[in-house]
Amino acid sequence: MLNNVRIGKVPCIPDPVSLVLRIHQNYLKSQTSLSLLNIFLFMSLEEYPNWIRGIDVFIGLVTVLVGAWILFSPDLVEATLVITIAIGLFLIGVVRFGKGISMSGLTMSSRAMKIISGIGAIALSLLSFLFSSLTVTFLITLLTFAIMIVGLSRMVVGNGEKTMPEWMRLLNIVGGGVVFFFGFFAAIFTDMGFFTLRIMLSCVFIALGVIRIAGASKGEMT
């Protein structure tokens, strides 16, 4: 009779040590995921990490050098000028869009203008690449609208950030005004000489670079 009795499977009871190790491993994985998330969302904190400040200073220096190159390059032609401006505005747009999304320390109006100006700069610079067969005058006019949006964004940030030091607010307002009006003049007076256009666009990039360098060097999230 005993031979006909079936014995069911005995439930497996986990070893307490293995269970603790497994819980610890899952905890470490979750902490790693959180750490990676914090890296991607570092700007959601109101802090301004030194390595990001370094990147901002570098971008500012490159922007100033591009502005100087536009002005002093003896071999610069109109097609090269369009490509240079488009690349510069694309990079500026990416930075402004990223900061607008992630910088929680700014007012809603400042963040909104950063996002709008970033999207505008990215879209218009990409359009100039996609429709590169159009006339140089039209492409430059297209890019000047992106310049105006970026300048307007700077003025909004300078006016809206009441906690920002006065000199930094003034620099954003004045620099943003220079960028906006030079972009406006370049869009309206399309028949101006090529050298005059170079001067105006050079001032635009130099102004944007100086504002970025000044803000980053003093730890201001602009």
pLDDT reported for residue 79: 87
Helix intervals (H) in the chain: 16-40, 50-72, 78-102, 108-130, 136-160, 166-188, 194-217
- Rounded to two decimals, the pTM is 0.71
Q: Give the structural domain span for 199.
A: 50-217
pLDDT reported for residue 116: 93
39 in a structural domain: no
pLDDT reported for residue 136: 85
103 in a structural domain: yes
pLDDT tens per residue across span 44-101: 444 556 777 788 888 899 999 999 999 998 888 888 999 999 999 999 999 889 888 8
pLDDT reported for residue 34: 46
pLDDT reported for residue 173: 93
Distance CA 196, CA 49 (A): 39
45 in a structural domain: no
23 in a structural domain: no
* Number of domains composing the chain: 1
Do residues 90 and 116 lie in contact, with contact meaning Cβ atoms separated by under 8 Å? Answer: no
3 in a structural domain: no
Low-confidence spans in the chain with pLDDT less than 50 = 1-2, 5-11, 20, 32-46
Angle at 179 between CA 178 and CA 182, to 5 degrees: 80
Phi, psi of 205 (to 5 degrees): -70, -40
pLDDT reported for residue 1: 45
pLDDT reported for residue 16: 54
* Cα distances (angstroms) measured from residue 196 to each of 81, 135, 182: 13, 19, 11
16 in a structural domain: no
pLDDT reported for residue 183: 92
pLDDT reported for residue 163: 81
62 in a structural domain: yes
Distance CA 154, CA 179 (A): 9
80 in a structural domain: yes
List, as one string, the DSSP characters of 69-134.
Answer: HHHH-TT--HHHHHHHHHHHHHHHHHHHHHHHHH-TTS-HHHHHHHHHHHHHHHHHHHHHHHTTTS
pLDDT reported for residue 147: 94
pLDDT reported for residue 101: 86
pLDDT reported for residue 205: 94
